[in-house]
């Protein structure tokens, strides 16, 4: 049997070492060129020359917003201060996203090395990794990696004889989503409540302990060393006009090959879903893919051939985000998807500004009404208007983008909202108040299997006579359908019939 070969769509830069080496043994990283880039930078480049390389490469922040990394470093390098900091944002929090965890667990030295390079470029001798405490394995491996790098002289004092000092410490986050926002992250590191403040001032001028601070995401750092070693031209030859290099995505949801992938910018959704991801589970119909986490939106069939990059995703009403990609099929209700994300935001908003704290709660409540079949047409206008105002007035990036799931589902799936509100129907059969089970009298043999398994005793009927389900009692657990050997029970997509 031959190994099947198909043309690879993936290109691994950030993930280059994940699954290739033992993250707890620095020697294996050294074999794969770890710290070569740092050595080269310290020996051959001035900080500005190194920053220029990054600027030429076109690398943009992989945390979501896509700010040019070289420019960010340059601003921090030009801030004058006796002390500066390099911060690695490892507070990965988007539902369904695990890119940063995988990099830290699989290749911690790629991040440490890049942080040291950044320190050299901006003039910082201290690095901090803000990592969520829910990532114990990543923390353990980072600790091992830091101590091994210190031991080998690749971090610490006078690195590789250059006179450059750099040390790295870990800060633990308590799992607040908003702490991925850089000002909130900095407050959290300072021991304060993790909530954002107005920008400006930006961290590059006043960050951790009011000192200039450069904050980059894990994946951004993981791209640095290859750019140094292979050159900016190599990196900028990959990708699209304004989005260079690759992007790691965590493929999840109704897709056959759930996993971590890295593709060149410009790859289409179709390639990702059908070629890399192996298509939709159980050959169901593709409905949408959610990108960008709670701040992102849904892309639909019409976007399947759009080349994925920062600009195109925004134009399509979503965003790059940190790289979560959740695939949905015909059984997913898009109103419920919006509700899911709003529920997440309502719990994860820091509570500081009114539109995010109260506005999102009200959005959630409207969505809940709609999924319960209690929505009215006015609710759709309210949803839209309130979403617009939250976007327009919220304090931080989290708040400003929090209504995106509503915008994008309203835009792409208005007919599903309309059905919920007017016809009281959920076509996906997901909203429990909007469908019920019926027993086909002609098929039912009265075996009572359904009656026995029903946890709430909603099914009645005499033996060997057709049974009946009381929709008012039924909790729509689906158990009866699965138990029935005669296909006598079916779902009726109509609102609950009140008897």
CB of 332 to another protein, least distance (A): 19
Alpha-carbon Rg for the chain in angstroms: 26
Taking the C-alpha atoms of residue 450 and residue 457, their distance in angstroms, rounded to an integer, is 10
Minimum distance of another protein from residue 385's CB (angstroms): 8
**Nearer CB in complex with another protein: 154/480:** 154
The rounded Cα 41 to chain-centroid distance in angstroms is: 32
Beta carbon nearer to another protein, 2 or 442: 2
Burial 369-397 (b: 16+ CB within 10 A, else e): ebbbbebeeebbeebeebbeebbeebbbb
Q: How far is the CB of 288 from another protein (least distance, A)?
A: 20
CB of residue 140 vs another protein: minimum separation in angstroms?
A: 11
CB of 52 to another protein, least distance (A): 21
Phi, psi of 389 (to 5 degrees): -70, -35
Nearer to another protein, 159 or 450 (CB): 159
Comparison of 104 and 428: residue with beta carbon closer to another protein: 104
Is the CB of 1 or the CB of 499 nearer to another protein? 1
Cα–Cα distance for residue pair 13/236, rounded to 1 Å: 13
CA distance 186 to 175: 14
Looking at residue 43, the DSSP 8-state letter turns out to be H
DSSP symbols for 218-234: HHHHHHHHHHHHH-HHH
Smallest gap from Cβ 382 to another protein, in A, equals: 7
CA dist 198 and 465 (Å) reads 69
- Comparison of 11 and 481: residue with beta carbon closer to another protein: 11
Name the DSSP class of 204: T
How far is Cα of residue 237 from the mean position of the Cα atoms in its chain?
Answer: 26
CA distance 61 to 209: 23
C-alpha of 6 from chain center: 28
- For residue 88, the cross-strand partners are 129, 216
Least separation in angstroms between residue 43's CB and another protein is 5
Taking Cα atoms as reference points, which of 324, 326, 402 lies closest to residue 100? 324
Of 329 and 419, which CB lies nearer to another protein in the complex structure? Answer: 329
Rounded least distance, CB 420 to another protein, Å: 18
Q: With respect to another protein, which residue has the nearer C-beta, 8 or 414?
A: 8
Closer to another protein by Cβ: residue 70 or 277: 277
Cis amide bond preceding 200, omega within 30: yes
The string of DSSP codes covering 274-306 is IIIS-SBGGG--EEEEEESGGG-EEEEGGGTTS
How far apart CA 298 and CA 328 sit, in angstroms, is: 9
Question: Smaller CB distance to another protein: residue 1 or 498?
Answer: 1
CB of 286 to another protein, least distance (A): 17
Closest CB to another protein among 227 and 298?
227
Q: Is 291 helix (H, G, I), strand (E, B) or coil?
A: strand
Asked whether 110 and 65 are in contact (CB, 8 A), the reply is no
């Amino acid at each position: 049997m031959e190994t099947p070969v198909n043309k690879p769509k993936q290109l691994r830069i950030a993930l280059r070492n994940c699954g290739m080496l033992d993250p707890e043994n620095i020697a294996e990283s050294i074999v794969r060129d770890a710290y070569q880039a740092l050595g080269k930078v310290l020996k051959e480049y001035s900080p500005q020359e190194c920053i220029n390389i990054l600027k030429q490469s076109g690398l943009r922040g992989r945390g979501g917003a896509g700010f040019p990394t070289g420019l960010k470093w340059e601003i921090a390098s030009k801030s004058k201060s006796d002390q500066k900091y390099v911060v690695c944002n490892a507070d990965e929090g988007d539902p369904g996203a695990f890119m940063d965890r995988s990099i830290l667990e699989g290749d911690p030295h790629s991040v440490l090395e890049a942080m040291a390079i950044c320190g050299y470029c901006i003039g910082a001798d201290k690095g901090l990794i803000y990592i969520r405490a829910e990532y114990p394995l990543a923390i353990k491996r980072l600790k091992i990696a830091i101590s091994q790098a210190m031991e080998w002289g690749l971090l610490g004092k006078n690195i590789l004889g250059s006179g450059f000092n750099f040390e790295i410490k870990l800060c633990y986050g308590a799992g607040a989503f908003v702490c991925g926002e850089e000002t909130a992250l900095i407050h959290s590191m300072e021991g304060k409540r993790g909530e954002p403040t107005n920008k400006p001032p930006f961290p590059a001028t006043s960050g951790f302990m009011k000192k200039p601070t450069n904050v980059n995401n894990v994946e951004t750092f993981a791209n640095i060393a290859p750019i140094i070693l292979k050159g900016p031209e190599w990196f900028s030859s990959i990708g699209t006009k304004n989005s260079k290099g690759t992007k790691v995505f965590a493929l999840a949801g109704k897709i056959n090959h759930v996993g971590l992938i890295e593709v060149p910018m410009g790859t289409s959704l179709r390639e990702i879903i059908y070629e890399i991801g192996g298509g939709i589970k159980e050959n169901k119909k593709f409905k949408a893919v959610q990108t960008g986490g709670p701040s992102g939106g849904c892309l639909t069939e019409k976007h399947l051939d759009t080349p994925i990059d920062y600009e195109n995703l925004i134009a399509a009403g979503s965003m790059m985000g940190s790289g979560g990609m959740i695939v949905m099929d015909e059984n997913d209700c898009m109103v419920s998807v919006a509700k899911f994300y709003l529920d997440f935001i309502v719990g994860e908003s820091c509570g500081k500004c009114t539109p995010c704290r109260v506005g999102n709660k009200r959005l959630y409540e409207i969505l809940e009404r709609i999924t319960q079949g209690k929505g009215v047409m006015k609710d759709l206008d309210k949803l839209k208007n309130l979403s617009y105002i939250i976007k327009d007035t919220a304090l931080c990036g989290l708040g400003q983008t929090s209504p995106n799931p509503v915008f994008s589902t309203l835009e792409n799936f208005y007919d599903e909202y309309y059905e919920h509100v007017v016809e009281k129907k959920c076509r996906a059969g997901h909203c429990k108040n909007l469908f019920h089970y019926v027993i086909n009298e002609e098929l039912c043999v009265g075996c009572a299997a359904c009656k026995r398994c029903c946890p709430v005793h909603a099914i009645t009927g005499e033996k060997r006579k057709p049974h009946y389900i009381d929709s008012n009692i039924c909790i729509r657990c689906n158990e009866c359908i699965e138990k029935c050997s005669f296909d006598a029970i079916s779902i009726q997509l109509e609102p609950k019939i009140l008897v």
